[in-house]
Structure 1
């Protein structure tokens, strides 16, 4: 039996993509060395989860669509109750190119993430710096991830600076407090933080006076990533992302308005008490720092 043909290495730039649409068109054109029409999703699944950490007064819910392409899993979160059953059934056996044209943004995002995870896994060759995440309780792992994210952000913010946090995670707010930073919590759902602080809904209205923006990968799936990146760039603010949704997609925007990414592919810390790995992208300020000009 003859050996399978070698896969051409990715020729497209790793980073600096100007927008999601351009990146997606490059994927469709085969710029990453594999025609998305030639590969199919073998497995699709939805994860519905509820969390209330010990010692916390409230909890939260997650729903995530995950698609498997070869050894890679791409994921996109959705608001609880917003993920229809056909999001899973439509994806099974479908080629990636057709899913990139799916009417549901959550499917398009998960498909793009699966494809890029397949072509550009989280390795040092693709810009990733692995960071072990120790085994522990859900709260211990949540706090460890939060520290890893804030370590990317803190050097980019002046002492005592103010951070617009888009996509409220209480452990992240706690880690910002521990680093001596203040914050404005922002989330489309509104509500209150663990400490009784009102959560604003409008990022554009809340960015005044902030020194940086810290945002969830969910902004990619709900369509707010582009406007948020433009908002941060217009004000000259560093933008740091923590990404379960689109963990392989968002690092591609480094150097084009994104300064650092903490990527966490499936399985996420809240699914398993064992050890895991986070992947951080983006050099320290002043060391190979991106200027936002893109390519």
Structure 2
């Protein structure tokens, strides 16, 4: 279990994260707290990667594939990646720095509207500061830091938005395929940008195949350490 509460913020974040190591690489997938028995994860220890890639739990598959891909093709050696450093500091400072890098990947029109799937208040704050509006969406529902209602069905916001900013958690809960199906059926081109701690290397495989840009953040994540840590930024070929 992992939790974070940023200084000065009203809410916090609580996730259950499955992290599996293959060689020198750690792959991860976050799930809703309590959705997977810890004994299921413990049983993965020492298991062959071929077995984990066919595990009954999708989140275990994603974490294993993330580790496998990162081990064989590290982000640091990918010629497509632009690596930036999130500076050291407290969790709020680092959250804002990450959000600035992520939102810079959005090629939306001035004053455009972004469907944000997986609510992170620092991302919303950066969009507000850049003059963009948004539709916040998260399976948890509730409200944002500014009291805005959070929708639970992302299809409600697709027609009114100019871009989609989606969490890597969609890979682990099985909703990402549905998102790509809905986006491809839309009469307008809606760029899909991902911010991925979950399945960062898995999302990289989708660049140009539904994903237009990606912020890949492998373990350890920005809020687990106060030290400088990397973000690997990608754009699909032909998108700038």
TM interval, short-chain normalised: over 0.9
Q: 2:36 aligns with which of 78, 83, 86?
A: 83
The answer for the alignment partner of 1:289 in structure 2 is 239
Q: CA deviation at 1:271?
A: 0.3
- Cα distance between partner residues in 1 of 2:182 and 2:155: 7
Listed as ranges, the gaps of 5+ residues in structure 2 are: none
Q: 2:164 aligns with which of 209, 213, 224?
A: 213
Q: Map residues 64-83 of structure 1 onto 2, 5 A cutoff.
A: 64-83=17-36
The answer for the alignment partner of 1:51 in structure 2 is 4
Q: 1:111 aligns with which of 38, 54, 64?
A: 64
* Larger-Rg structure: 1
The answer for the alignment partner of 1:196 in structure 2 is 147
Listed as ranges, the gaps of 5+ residues in structure 1 are: 1-47, 291-295
**1:158 and 2:158 matched:** no
TM-score, normalised by the number of residues in structure 1: 0.78
The answer for the alignment partner of 1:258 in structure 2 is 211
- Cα distance between partner residues in 1 of 2:40 and 2:94: 29
**1:132 and 2:85 matched:** yes
The answer (yes or no) to whether the contact 1:76–1:107 under 8 Å persists in 2 is yes
Q: 1:228 aligns with which of 179, 196, 200?
A: 179
The answer (yes or no) to whether the contact 1:213–1:232 under 8 Å persists in 2 is no
Q: CA deviation at 1:182?
A: 0.1
- Cα distance between partner residues in 2 of 1:282 and 1:51: 29
**1:277 and 2:220 matched:** no
The alignment's C-alpha RMSD in Å is 1.3
SS where residue 152 of structure 1 aligns?
A: coil
- Cα distance between partner residues in 2 of 1:125 and 1:200: 36
Count of residues in correspondence between the two structures: 238
Q: CA deviation at 1:266?
A: 0.2
**1:177 and 2:128 matched:** yes
SS where residue 101 of structure 1 aligns?
A: coil
- Cα distance between partner residues in 2 of 1:72 and 1:52: 27
- Cα distance between partner residues in 2 of 1:251 and 1:105: 18
- Cα distance between partner residues in 2 of 1:229 and 1:240: 11
**1:237 and 2:190 matched:** yes
Q: Could you say if the C-alpha distance between residues 202 and 139 of structure 1 is closer, same or farther in structure 2, counting changes exceeding 3 Å?
A: same
